[in-house]
Each structure stands twice: as structure tokens, then as C-alpha cells.
Chain A
């Protein structure tokens, strides 16, 4: 198992060079990840599939071609939705987890899901801690250290130990007292939300401004909806569909419908605002963006959209985040007085 090196400018440069220019940003980062991993010795690539009306469904097909054209001889395993065939799904999982029987497969899958959940919980805890921390850099150091160590260790038990240790460190961070942070929900395209390199580390940047950040989608939430609770879906995600219904009653591909539902979800939770992040020319999110204008107006709820691609300048990004946080604090002040 070779985890791709942490996404960097180099990853994106490699990816952009070998990808169609008008392709969405995650595609380019993926290609970069593949090539960097292959150079480190990977011979098999695992990617999830999709059959929704979004280009993600084409990723595996085009990417396999690109890798072949470049002369890389690798095995590409696509884990398609269970809908596409239960047999393939199981046989792919067996191949990945190197298990032969169903009970074994069940056991290793449970472990994998547990690890993903623990890692997500830790990231979320760091976001909460950063908002309240007296010294925000201390939280950054703890998390940097965790990320650095996590690729050096082996096995599930070591990883669990590391996560627990990091959790404890976070619990010991000194927090501000009587502090009521601005709360912002991050919504939009799933990959853009969860990969800090792609979203220019939006969680950290907002946390640094003392903002409490929550993400509408995480690997855990995705798995709970698409795998663990298959075919019914998780309660949270189904609720988002319900919330989105007055605006949109059919899926529009990707996570367009979830984005709308999430915005309303955060409004109901009493958040101050949401930020939608999408990769340039992501179709489902563009549709959602136009509808979000009405959501914002109807609910009197601030929503800002940020578009990222390989040309995104960091300075403008920071200016917008800061201005948005100013806007939210002023709004809150006014509500308190008026």
C-alpha cells in the first residue's frame, strides 16, 4: 500500500500537463497523484466509480487511457456503486483487502471504515479546537505533526494510537473563555471540500480568523450514505434531499442536490453563513450555485461561492474569506442590538 505523496504544486503541475485542459480540477490532481505514486512503486490504483450525470463517471476510463499512453503499466480497480453489480463490488473489495471469504472481507472492511471515521472525527475536532484556541498555530503544529507521522507508521493499531494521542493533545490546547465564534458551513463539491491543497486550506484559514468550520461532506458521511446504509442512504443525507426539495426535486449529478440541502441544513442549525466551493466548470455545482442565490434571498442567509482551479490566486481568496467573516460578524452585532 503506497499512499500518494501529499498533494503539492508539483502534483498539480504533473496532472495539468497530462490532462485535457477543460477537465475539472480533481481529475488533474488525481492524475498527478497516480504518477507520483507510480514513481514511488505503486502498481495498482483504486478509484471509486460513479454513474451519475457528472464527469466523475468518466474519470476511470479516461485516466486509464492517459496512463497507458504515458506507458505506465498499472492495474486500475474501479469500485463502482453497488447498484452496478453486487458481484463486481464484492470481488473488487476482496482483491483490495486480500481476503477470500465474506466474513474476512466484512472484518477488514469494518476496520477500514472505523479508521476513516476516526480520522474524520479528528479533523473535525481540530477545526473546533482551532476556532476557540488562544494560540491557533499550536493547533496547526499538532495537526502537521499528526499528518507527518501518519505516513511513517504501519498498521491499524499504530494509526489508532496516533489518532488517540493527537486527540489528547488537542484536548489540552488552551481555549478562549466565553467566546462565541462565527460559524460557517463549507458546502459544495466533495473532493474540493475535503482536499486542503485544492481548497487552499480553507478550514485552517477560517479557523485562524477564529471561525468554527463544519464540512457538509466527509469520507465518513459519504460512506455512511452510499455503502453502510445501502440502499436506503443515511438519515442526514436523506434529510438534505428533503430540505432541497422546494428548490430541486431531482438529482442533477455530483452533489448538487446535497449542496442545496446542506445550505438549508446549516441555516436550521443556526450557522452564520455558508461558503460554497467548487472546481471551475463543475456542472452540478454551477447549477446549485444559481439556485443558492434564491435560497440566500428567501432565508436571508449569507452564502458566498468560491471557485478554485490551478490558476487560483491565494491573495484574492484570503481577501474574500476575510470580508465574508467581517460581513457575518457585523450582521450578528446588528441582530444583537436590533
Chain B
């Protein structure tokens, strides 16, 4: 019987599930759209794993992404790790010499600087989501094209349009303006890619020493136009790992393996959790002027967890 470790990355846009074996080889990956329903999607993902690997041993589970705590409540994770550490772990597993990780996901983008195999610096976008996946999604929709074709179309451009990419809202109005002027679609798409890369480098990567080898991860790495724009701006080759879209989950799985090896046991509740019924009950606490929004998660009618309060009154 095979032994696996599971990594789950519950992000704003996608929920990724991976299984790795003892040698950190990827055995299974599933990329699901979160669609604002992390609970259901998670159950669905686990059910698929069960159908496929029903009799396999899952020895450990790691969760990451903005929904990492929620996922852990449901599943029982051995490791709950932030996205930055997970992405770095996966990048180093892919190539131990990695110096820079560019990660662009659904709603945030990061840069991780690595020296001698350890993270020495990092940054995340702070206030604005310009240049992330969900912004590109929206613009693809507006231009009437599939997001999967976006990058290929950009590569056809011979005369990219200059678009103001500092702010998502202004980039959109500038793009519409360029459309109205009658520019080619591929030139506009290419212009958008360039603008996003410029914005990334001058905001998130500002003041950071980007050194080669550079790894580009996250859903947006599928976009060939963005990759090429990065290579032109950085004057360096940008590598895209085979499993670029699930690197966070792979990192979580690797970390869970280390944790379980050290502890000797797992907290994983078992794959049958997908059969249970989960309900989320929001509560507005009016105990004080903070008016905390509390979430209560129930498993088959029993309260599993409550969180969101500042004072600890609702915690179990």
C-alpha cells in the first residue's frame, strides 16, 4: 500500500490539493476554483482523493493559503503554514539553488529572496490587487477572450500599447480608452502584461536584489505574455516549474512530512470527513463596540470551532 502526504492550499481564487510520496514526487494534483465556498470545495476535493486513492495511507496533512485555518479545522492538519514559507520550501525542493521566487496568485503577489537555501527577505502586495490573477481574469472577460489564451495572444503583438498599470481601476479605464482609439487586441493584451510586470517590479520587488535562478510560480505563471515581459524587464531567464500552479500546496505537504516524521503521529481526521455535514454560522457579537464577526463551524450539528473574536469570549 502506498504512503502519501497531502498538501492543501485554500486561496482566494483556487483551492489546490496535492499528494506527494516519500520522495516528494507529485502523485496527484487537483486545481479547483474556490468560488467563495471553501468548505464545499474542500469536501469535493477530498472526495475525489478518496475515490481515486481510497485505500492509500495518508500519513500527514499540511494546509496553507488564506483559508489555512479553516481547512485545518475541518481536516486536522499537522502543519498550518503561511504561503510565503510554503512557496519557498517548494521552490527549494524543485531547485535547491533558487535565489528568487516570483509568485503571483489570485489576489496577492509576492517576492521571496533566498540565499544559500534560506529565505532572507520577502514582500507581499499591501493595499492593491493590481497585477494579480483576478484582475487579469476580469480584463480577459472584458476583452471577450479565455484567460487561458491571454498569454498566447499577447505573444502575437508586435507593437505593445503603453497602459497605466499602477492601479487596477485606472488600468481598466486606460485600457478601455486604448480600445476606443482602435488599437489591436493583441497589442492591448501585451500592453497589460507589460504594465503588470512594471507595477510588480516597482512595488513589490522595489529595493530587492533579484538574482538568478528566478522561479515564477502561482496561477499567473501560466500566462506566457507575463513571463516574457518579466524576462525582458529583468534581462534574465525566468523558470516556470512543472507544477507552478500548486507549489504552495506542495510546500505544505513537504512540511507536513517533516513534522509527522518528527512527531511520530498525524492529526489528520481521515478521508471520510467528506461524508460529514459542515455548516457555517456567522454571529455578530454585540458585547462591545468592536462588533466582531464570529464564525461558528459545525460538524454534523456539533460545534467544531469558533473564531473571529478579539476577546476570546467565543473561543471554545
Q: Which residues of A contact B (CB under 8 A)?
A: 5-6, 8-11, 137, 140-141, 144, 201, 293, 302, 307, 311, 315-316, 318-320, 322-323, 326-327, 330-331, 334
List chain A residues, Cβ under 8 A from B311.
144
Q: How many residues of chain B have a CB within 8 Å of chain A?
A: 25
- Give Cα A5 to B124, complex, Å: 34
List chain B residues, Cβ under 8 A from A302.
120-121
Q: Which of A137, A293, A327 contacts B122 (CB 8 A)?
A: A327
State how many angstroms separate the Cβ of A197 from the closest Cβ of chain B: 9
Cβ-based interface call for B157 (8 A): no
B299-316 contact mask (Cβ, 8 Å, vs A): 1 or 0: 000000000001110010
Q: Is the CB–CB distance between B119 and A327 below 8 Å?
A: yes
Which among A6, A137, A140, A323 has the greatest number of chain B C-beta atoms within 10 A?
A323
* Contact count A vs B, C-beta below 8 Å: 63
Q: Is the CB–CB distance between B312 and A137 below 8 Å?
A: yes
Q: Which of A5, A141, A319, A323 contacts B312 (CB 8 A)?
A: A141
Q: Is the CB–CB distance between B312 and A8 below 8 Å?
A: no
Q: Which of B84, B118, B120, B288 contacts A8 (CB 8 A)?
A: B288
Q: Which of B119, B289, B310 contacts A330 (CB 8 A)?
A: B119
List chain A residues, Cβ under 8 A from B290.
8-10
B54-98 contact mask (Cβ, 8 Å, vs A): 1 or 0: 000000000000100000000000000111110000000000000
- Give Cα A158 to B39, complex, Å: 50
Q: Is the CB–CB distance between A327 and B124 below 8 Å?
A: no
Q: Is the CB–CB distance between A334 and B124 below 8 Å?
A: no
State how many angstroms separate the Cβ of B292 from the closest Cβ of chain A: 9
B93-137 contact mask (Cβ, 8 Å, vs A): 1 or 0: 000000000000000100000001011111010110000000000
- Give Cα A334 to B66, complex, Å: 29
Q: Is the CB–CB distance between B84 and A144 below 8 Å?
A: no
State how many angstroms separate the Cβ of A315 from the closest Cβ of chain B: 5
User: Given A293-B207, A323-B85, A331-B118: A9 and B124 within 8 A (CB)?
Assistant: no
Beyond A319-B83, A319-B124, A334-B116, 6 additional contacts (C-beta under 8 Å) are A9-B291, A10-B290, A11-B289, A201-B310, A319-B66, A323-B85
13 A/B residue pairs, CB under 8 Å, sorted by A? A9-B289, A9-B290, A137-B312, A319-B82, A319-B124, A320-B82, A320-B124, A322-B85, A323-B84, A323-B85, A323-B119, A326-B82, A327-B119
